[in-house]
Structure 1
Amino acid sequence: MKKIYLILIMSIITFSCSDESVNLEPLSIANSKRSINSVSNSGDYNVAVTVSSDGTEWTYTITRAVTKAKSLSHFIIDLNNCGQDSATFADIISATVNGNPANMSPSEGSGTGCDTQEITTNFIKFDVQEATSWVIILKYNRGYEISTTATSWLKAGTSCHQAVIYAPGCPKGDVFEELSTL
């Protein structure tokens, strides 16, 4: 019996100490709210996510899937993925967009038309500049598990596209704390 626990403990320690990040496949673009005059569509963007093994660093790489897709003006991530233990704007210790300090807010502001409050009031909005791709790196003050059902919004022109993405879920537990319960 002790051998099984030792193998389990070594496996957990090896996994938790790994420096490797996890590359996650993009999830589907779900809904779209747009003006009749907009040429942007919900499938025009891909969002790939990479998460550090400790869950503290999240990298969102957004690319245009269609060459003629409009440039993004905002990217919004729903952080409410673990009830009271969800990540919040205050848990972010740094953020960049394409290598520059991020212009971000816990408020939708005015004029996005994304209606995030229909789903959540716990979100982060990034203002992004004209580009063909965007790399957003978020660093949190603690690690988070991966939620596979988080909502995001991509604002382009008069369109606001809602997508299901990977985002911070529940906080990661302390390995030694978890081992003490065995």
Structure 2
Amino acid sequence: MKNLLIPAFILLCMTVSAQKQNVMDKESIYQFKVEDLYGDQFDFSNLKGKKVMVVNTASECGLTPQYEGLQELYDKYKDRNFVIVGFPANNFGGQEPGTDEQIAAFCEKNYGVTFPMMSKISVKGKDMHPVYEFLTEKEKNGLEDSEVQWNFQKYLIDENGHVARVISPQTLPADQSIINWIEK
């Protein structure tokens, strides 16, 4: 019996060690610095300890009215360690053709957006931005492989900078599953 316990214990220790190594190997959102719509640097490491929703946006999409729900969510939870970070992208049907200046004006005028909005990037394909490589590749995020399906896909990032969930573009910002995640 003793002869069986020692190899089982060693196997258990190796499994726990491998699991710890996988957690340690996970990258975090905190490694990224990007440019916002106004040309200023935005450092994700400043968000340590906060829950973050990263969302790709577009001004001429059927889902564009989600800006209103995103702003309401941000207003409600911004003082409770939650932030939304928007990334305009023109990857789906040319629905974000504007310049950063035009996007900023559109968001402010039509939806009163005050959450951080980044410079326009690509969220798919050969020119995918490194932030979205992190969000969509299990090897980097430690959770799962995903593909950005359309505008307004949401990535929920935990207080440690790790991807916690991927939310469908059609899921509204005020969906109870998102609220529950923020509040827990």
Higher gyration radius (CA): 2
User: Normalized against structure 2, the TM-score is what?
Assistant: 0.30
User: Normalized against structure 1, the TM-score is what?
Assistant: 0.30
